[in-house]
């Protein structure tokens, strides 16, 4: 059964990341150097137009975000929220962990961590 993921995305970084990698899909050619050939092949099947919508989370304090990310599965519905409202929904298609891809897409937070727990979405509705 699909789960609902409430994804807070109201801070400055999250708002920018949403525009950069969800509203404006990322070319698979940009992603390819940072993932395994199998992961690339799977993404190519999911995104035949070779443009993927990408979201990532940090491990979080005490690993809390990572534990939540571990439970995400294809078919889960993500609700993006900011300013005390849901502004977008999407369906999860795939996930992977890659610090290098996260750095390429979003750089580092000021504490030196990055959004390396990555999931891909589709069917985005505002």
Q: What is the pLDDT of residues 41-88, one digit of tens each?
A: 999 999 999 999 999 999 988 889 999 999 999 999 999 999 999 999
Q: What is the pLDDT of residues 87-112, one digit of tens each?
A: 999 999 999 999 999 999 999 987 78
Element (H, E) at 51: strand 51-57
Q: Are strands 77-82 and 4-8 parallel, antiparallel or unpaired?
A: parallel
Residue 55: beta bridge partners? 119
Structure confidence at residue 34 (pLDDT): 98
- pTM listed for this prediction: 0.93
Q: Where are the domains of the chain?
A: 4-112
């Amino acid at each position: 059964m699909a789960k609902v993921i409430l994804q807070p995305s109201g801070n400055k970084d999250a708002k920018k990341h949403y525009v950069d990698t969800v509203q404006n899909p990322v070319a698979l050619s940009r992603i390819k150097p940072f993932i395994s050939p199998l992961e690339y092949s799977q993404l190519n099947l999911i995104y035949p137009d070779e443009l993927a919508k990408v979201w990532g989370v940090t491990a979080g304090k005490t690993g809390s975000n990572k534990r939540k990310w571990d439970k995400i599965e294809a078919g889960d519905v993500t609700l993006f929220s900011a300013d005390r409202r849901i502004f977008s929904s999407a369906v999860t298609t795939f996930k992977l962990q890659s610090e290098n891809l996260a750095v390429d897409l979003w750089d580092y937070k000021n504490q030196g961590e990055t959004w390396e727990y990555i999931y891909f979405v589709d069917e985005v509705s505002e």
